[in-house]
């Protein structure tokens, strides 16, 4: 039996995925979460075999959560779901240590195949994503050059996402248990690293490169 943690910030999407997965006799959903931080907490507590997780979520997105779960060395494989096949997102996702990347537009029986493959420790990518990975392998430097967020640390990406979600420095400090002054220092470093002059520039980059949903 494959023990699944399901994480998506949209309750209706979670319900649909739950209905699909519970029909499989070899899959058991042991928990559900609504953001990346909950994914980390529940993965630590429940120790699932596979986390099926959306990329675009508030507080911590799926890629950031995957990075932190990898750093915690939890014995779990991660399958990301996304509406987007942007090269930068795919690049970030695979570098975060995930084992699967499936487009939501093709979620059906494919999701079940992907979960079973990931549970075995194999890598599963939707066809479109596979093409992007092949192209990245041929031109790796072009991929990195096209993703300015590549130079950021996990903490810097986390702060950038929170800034883009319109949290104040005080609110970010409370969420991350750091001082407001430290947040301001991170913000200044972000502007320098990303070569932008104001908060609007930071927000545009966060949206463009997939830290927050471009449709919000």
Residue 24 has pLDDT above 80, yes or no: yes
Q: Are residues 123 and 191 in the same domain?
A: no
33 DSSP β-pair partners? 7
- Cα dist. 168→175, 205, 211, 212 in Å? 11, 18, 17, 16
Whole-model pTM?
A: 0.75
For residues 68-82, average pLDDT? 94
Q: Is a pLDDT exceeding 90 seen at residue 142? A: no
Is residue 74 located within the same domain as residue 55? yes
Phi, psi of 214, rounded to the nearest 5 degrees = -65, -15
167: domain CATH number? 1.10.10.10
Residues 6 and 93 in one domain: yes
Looking at the structure, tell me whether residues 116 and 16 fall in a common domain.
yes
Instruction: Supply the mean pLDDT for the chain.
Output: 87
Confidence of residue 211 (pLDDT cuts 50, 70, 90): confident
Predicted confidence at residue 131, as pLDDT, reads 67
114 and 189 both lie in a single domain: no
Give domain status of residue 183, yes or no: yes
In this model, does residue 146 exceed pLDDT 60? no
The two tokens of residue 204 are 């545009």
Residue 88: which domain range?
2-140
CB 47 within 8 A of CB 76: yes
In a domain, 216, yes or no: no
Q: Looking at the structure, tell me whether residues 173 and 89 fall in a common domain.
A: no
Residue 140 pLDDT grade (very low, low, confident, very high; cuts 50, 70, 90): low
Same domain, 33 and 14: yes
Burial 18-32 (b: 16+ CB within 10 A, else e): eeebeebeebebebb
Query: Token pair of 211, please?
Result: 């830290």
pLDDT of residue 90: 81
| 124 lies in the same domain as 52 | yes
Q: What is the pLDDT of residues 25-53, one digit of tens each?
A: 999 999 999 999 999 999 999 999 999 99
Rounded-to-integer distance, Cα 77 and Cα 97, Å: 9
136 and 185 together in one domain: no
Per-residue pLDDT tens over the stretch 151-171: 788 888 889 989 988 899 999
pLDDT of the residue at 133:
66
pLDDT given for residue 134 in this prediction: 62
Judge if 135 and 162 occupy the same domain: no
Q: Which pLDDT value is given to residue 138?
A: 47
Query: Does one domain contain both 114 and 152?
Result: no
Same domain, yes or no, for 119 and 20? yes
Considering 119, 140, 161, which residue would you say is the last residue of a domain? 140
How many separate domains does the chain show? 2
Where b means 16+ CB within 10 Å and e means fewer, 145-183 reads eebbbeebeeebbbbbbbbbbebebeebbebeeeeeeeb
């Amino acid at each position: 039996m494959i023990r699944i943690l399901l994480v998506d910030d949209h309750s209706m999407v979670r319900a649909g995925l739950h209905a699909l997965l519970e029909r499989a006799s070899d899959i058991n959903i042991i928990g559900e979460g609504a953001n990346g931080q909950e994914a980390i907490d529940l993965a630590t507590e429940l120790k699932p075999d596979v986390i099926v997780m959306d990329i675009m979520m508030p507080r911590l997105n799926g890629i950031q959560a995957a990075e932190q779960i990898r750093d915690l060395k939890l014995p779990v494989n991660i399958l990301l779901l996304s509406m987007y096949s942007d090269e930068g997102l795919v690049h970030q996702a695979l570098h975060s240590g995930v084992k699967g990347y499936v487009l939501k537009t093709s979620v059906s029986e494919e999701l079940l195949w992907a979960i079973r493959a990931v549970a075995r420790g194999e890598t599963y990518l939707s066809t479109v994503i596979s093409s992007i990975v092949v192209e990245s392998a041929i031109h790796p430097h072009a991929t990195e050059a096209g993703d300015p967020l590549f130079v950021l640390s996990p903490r810097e990406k986390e702060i950038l996402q929170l800034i883009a979600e319109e949290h104040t420095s005080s609110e970010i400090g409370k969420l991350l248990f750091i001082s407001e002054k430290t947040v301001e220092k991170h913000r200044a470093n972000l502007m320098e690293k990303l070569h932008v002059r104001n908060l609007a520039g930071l927000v545009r980059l966060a949206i463009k490169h997939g830290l927050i949903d471009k449709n919000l």
